Amino acid sequence: MGPKVRDSMKILCIGRNYAEHVAELNNERPSEPVIFTKPETALLRKNNPFYFPDYSENIHHEVEIVLRVAKVGKTIAEEHALSYVEAVGLGIDFTARDLQEKAKSKGLPWALAKGFDFSAPISEFVPVTEFTDLGNINFSLEINGEVRQQSNTRMMLFPIPTIISYISRFITLKIGDLIFTGTPSGVGPVKIGDRLVGKIEDKTFLDFEIK
């Protein structure tokens, strides 16, 4: 008998979903959602520290609202999309910007720049029923006590129902999958010794260190 085959969850991410962030990186405003993935090994939970890896000299923070998928779905209509969200949390889409710029300049994939180990710290999740409107959630990231990123989900270029519907045309959503919904402006490098605090509304969801 071979090893047990495990059915694992996946992490789906949206790039370029806030206009001011698109502008700060001099990217083109997308006409369709930009989708990429991270492997499960990217997850970093329970506010464990992030250890700065040796293959990058420029890792950027990207704070994002993260959705957890409630049920299996394929070709989901926008009007039903919100019923596929079970819980909401906060995450960081750590990006090795130097590796990403190198890949982008050659037209190569972002897999390593976005998917390296522990590139996806996530908070605890809160049931979706605790939010009155997923299209109106304030969230922020402070570094060493200073607010660096702050926005509201209403500023998304592609709102949550559109994202879910779009992804599910190509990739079947399954229970427990995570969707990173894009970062607002204010991204920048982290360094060893930084303390990152992420909030949804006034509540702290993330609080961890770079080591």
Q: Which is nearer to Mg ion, 62 or 142 (CB)?
A: 62
Please, which contacts does 77-82 make with residues 24 or more away whose CB atoms are closer than 8 Å?
Answer: 77/165, 78/161, 78/162, 78/164, 78/165, 79/161, 81/160, 81/161, 81/162, 81/164, 81/165, 82/128, 82/134, 82/160, 82/161, 82/164
- By CB under 5 A, residue 16 contacts Mg ion: no
Residues linked to residue 127 through DSSP beta bridges, in sequence order: 87
Give the residue, chosen from 33, 50, 62, 123, that forms a contact with Mg ion under the rule CB under 5 A: 62
Q: Which stretch binds Mg ion (CB under 5 A): 57-65, 81-89, 123-131, 187-195?
A: 57-65
Give the residue, chosen from 47, 100, 119, 183, that forms a contact with Mg ion under the rule CB under 5 A: 183
- By CB under 5 A, residue 153 contacts Mg ion: no
Q: Least separation, in Å, of the C-beta of 13 and Mg ion?
A: 6
Give the residue, chosen from 66, 67, 93, 157, that forms a contact with Mg ion under the rule CB under 5 A: 93
Q: Are 69 and 43 in contact (CB under 8 A)?
A: no
Written as one string, the DSSP assignment of 57-97 is: S-EEE-EEEEEEE-S-BSS--GGGGGGGEEEEEEEE--EEH
Q: Least separation, in Å, of the C-beta of 28 and Mg ion?
A: 16
Q: Which is nearer to Mg ion, 62 or 177 (CB)?
A: 62
- By CB under 5 A, residue 100 contacts Mg ion: no
Q: Which is nearer to Mg ion, 5 or 35 (CB)?
A: 35
Give Cβ neighbours of residue 38 (< 8 Å, ≥ 6 apart). 11, 13, 93, 114, 115, 119, 120, 180
Q: Which is nearer to Mg ion, 109 or 127 (CB)?
A: 109
Q: Which is nearer to Mg ion, 93 or 177 (CB)?
A: 93
Q: Least separation, in Å, of the C-beta of 202 and Mg ion?
A: 23
- By CB under 5 A, residue 142 contacts Mg ion: no
